[in-house]
Amino acid sequence: MNSIYLISGPLGAGKSSLSRLINKKYGYALIDGDAMFGPLENVRSLEWSQRLKVTWKNILEMTKNYLSYDLDVVIDFVVEDELDWFISELGNFNIRFKYVVLVAKEDEIKKRLIKRDGGLQYQDRSLVLLNQLQSNERNIRFILDTTGKTNQEVCDLFISGKQFEL
């Protein structure tokens, strides 16, 4: 049985750090949703919601491809309303899902964004996502606060945590 590790959260919560650590430590195939969304950013013929749909369909197809090669997959991308759709689209595969919504205190997110980007250009979007993800009842049991934790601590909590299994 293969596993899919779906890592969500706002910018600055630690999605990419956790995904890369899992990829390196366990050798799982890594799907970077931002890298797939980025090339569509300036495609004017697609609205924001259409770009998200295209990106999620690409993530789905890559996931299916990796699973067909008997690989475990870690996915790094913000999950807003796509979780149930994504799971149902993979219903033909015998897989184990783990899902986490990484969050951090607002001050910590701001600090991380400054360190990463040298500025706060994504701060507003990140804080909107933080509030949206935390207030979604579907996410409550899957929330993991990364404030004050090392990447390794977050990884260990996620990999071993039963509450993150779907």
Residues 123, 156: Cα–Cα separation, whole Å: 28
Strand blocks (E) in 92-141: 95-103
Q: What is the pLDDT of residues 65-96, one digit of tens each?
A: 999 999 999 999 999 999 999 999 998 889 99
Q: What is the pLDDT of residues 49-60, one digit of tens each?
A: 898 999 999 999
The mean-pLDDT minimum among 13-22, 119-128, 143-152 falls in 119-128
Mean pLDDT score across all residues of the chain: 93
Show the tokens assigned to 33: 């949703």
Write down how long the chain is: 166
What is the number of structural domains in the chain?
1
pLDDT at 26: 96
Q: If DSSP codes are grouped into helix, strand and coil, which group holds residue 42?
A: coil
Backbone region of residue 96 per phi and psi (left: phi > 0; alpha: psi in -120 to 50; beta: other values): beta
pLDDT at 48: 84
Position 114 pLDDT exceeds 70 = yes
The CATH number of the domain holding residue 9 is: 3.40.50.300
Task: Sheet with 95-103: list strands edge to edge.
Answer: 29-32, 73-76, 2-8, 95-103, 143-145
pLDDT at 44: 83
pLDDT at 123: 83
Q: What is the pLDDT of residues 96-111, one digit of tens each?
A: 999 999 999 999 998 8
pLDDT at 118: 62
pLDDT at 70: 96
pLDDT band at 41 (very low <50, low <70, confident <90, very high): confident
Residues 1, 95: Cα–Cα separation, whole Å: 5
Task: Read off the pTM.
Answer: 0.93
Q: Which domain holds residue 27?
A: 2-164
Nearest to 76 by CA among 17, 116, 125: 17
